[in-house]
Amino acid sequence: MLINLIVNDQPKVFLCKPGDFLLDTLRENNYLSVRRGCDTTNCGVCTVLFDGKPVPSCSLLTVKAEGHHITTVEGIQEEADKMGKLFGAEGADQCGFCNPSIALTVYALKKELINPTGLDVKEYLVGNLCRCTGYIAQERAIKSYLGDKS
Partner 1 sequence: MINLLVENFLKPKTLEEAYDMLISNKKNMVIAGGAWIKLSIKNVLGLISLDDLNLNKIEVKDDSIEIGSMVTLREVELSNHLNELYDGVLSSAVHKIMGINIRNLATIGGSVMGRFAFSDIYPPLLVMDTKLVFYKQGEISLSDFLANPKMEKDILLKIVIKKEEGRGFFKKVATTPLDFAIINIAVSKTLAGFKICLGSTPYIGALAKDAMIFINSKKVINEEVLDKTVELVLGELKISKNVRASKTYKEELASVYVKRGIRKVISDVN
Ligand X SMILES: Cc1cc2nc3c(=O)[nH]c(=O)nc-3n(C[C@H](O)[C@H](O)[C@H](O)COP(=O)(O)OP(=O)(O)OC[C@H]3O[C@@H](n4cnc5c(N)ncnc54)[C@H](O)[C@@H]3O)c2cc1C
- Residues of this chain that bind ligand FES (CB under 6 A): 36-39, 41-46, 56, 58, 93-98, 130-133
Q: Single out the residue of 60, 70, 102, 106 in contact with partner 1 (rule: CB under 8 A).
A: 60
Element of type H or E holding 13? strand 10-15
Q: Closer to partner 1 at the Cβ: 54 or 84?
A: 54
Q: Closer to ligand X at the Cβ: 41 or 77?
A: 41
Q: Single out the residue of 7, 92, 102, 125 in contact with partner 1 (rule: CB under 8 A).
A: 125
**CA distances for 3 relative to 30, 147, 150, angstroms:** 16, 39, 37
Q: How far apart are CA 132 and CA 119, in angstroms?
A: 22
Asked if residues 4 and 70 have their Cβ atoms less than 8 Å apart, the reply is: no
79-108 residues in contact with ligand X (CB under 6 A) are none
**CA distances for 130 relative to 44, 54, 59, 100, 104, angstroms:** 9, 17, 19, 11, 14
Q: Single out the residue of 4, 32, 41, 88 in contact with ligand X (rule: CB under 6 A).
A: 41
Question: Residues in the chain, how many?
Answer: 150
Part of the chain binding partner 1 (CB under 8 A), chosen from 4-12, 34-42, 89-97, 134-142: 34-42
**CA dihedral defined by 34, 37, 41, 42, rounded to 10 degrees?**
-130
Q: Choose the contact partner of 54 out of ligand FES, partner 1, ligand X, none; CB within 5 to 8 A by kind.
A: partner 1
Provide the binding-site residues for partner 1, judged by CB under 8 A: 1, 17-19, 21, 24, 36, 39-42, 44, 47, 50, 53-56, 58-61, 63-64, 105, 123-128
Provide the binding-site residues for ligand X, judged by CB under 6 A: 41-42
